[in-house]
Amino acid sequence: MTLFRGGCLCGAVRYETTSEPLNQRVCHCRVCQKAIGAAFNARVLMRIEHVEISGPISTFHSSETLERGSCSRCGTSVFSRRVSAGVMGLTAGSLDDPSQFKPDMHFWVSSKQPWLEITDDLPQYPEGPPTSGYTP
């Protein structure tokens, strides 16, 4: 079983999980680009109950069903959470060891930045991923 640990830039927020991820994906949608402040959101999807988080978190609803969490002190984007589905996406950049991130697909590539070339052999979807399994 893989141990995922991470936190924010200033160290005030920490998280840990020993559960296997539901999936690991890269979202290129404009909402994620704005929320993360980067060209895409690389995230590890976990069941909410399998993640322990401590520290000062500020949350913001970027849609009716998606809440994003960041450190109240330094502003690091740490997670997105869809309570209705019971899942939480941990940002790959906040992992203590980001090399643990092993993406399985790219989605919303119709919103991909034009200067970004995807050169891996992972599946790419113009909009959302197929609906089988957990996709938030």
pLDDT at residue 76, as a whole number: 96
The alpha carbon of 55 is separated from its chain's Cα centroid by a whole number of angstroms, namely 18
In the chain, the domains with their CATH numbers are 4-111 (2.170.150.70)
pTM, entire model: 0.90
Q: What is the pLDDT, as a whole number, of residue 132?
A: 54
pLDDT digits (tens, 9 = 90+) for 96-136: 999 999 999 999 999 999 999 999 999 999 999 887 554 44
Q: How many residues does the chain have?
A: 136
What is the C-alpha to C-alpha distance for residues 45 and 91, in angstroms, rounded to an integer?
9
Could you read off the pLDDT of 3-43 as tens digits, one per residue? 899 999 999 999 999 899 999 999 999 999 999 999 999 99
List the end-to-end C-alpha distance of the chain, in Å, as a whole number: 23
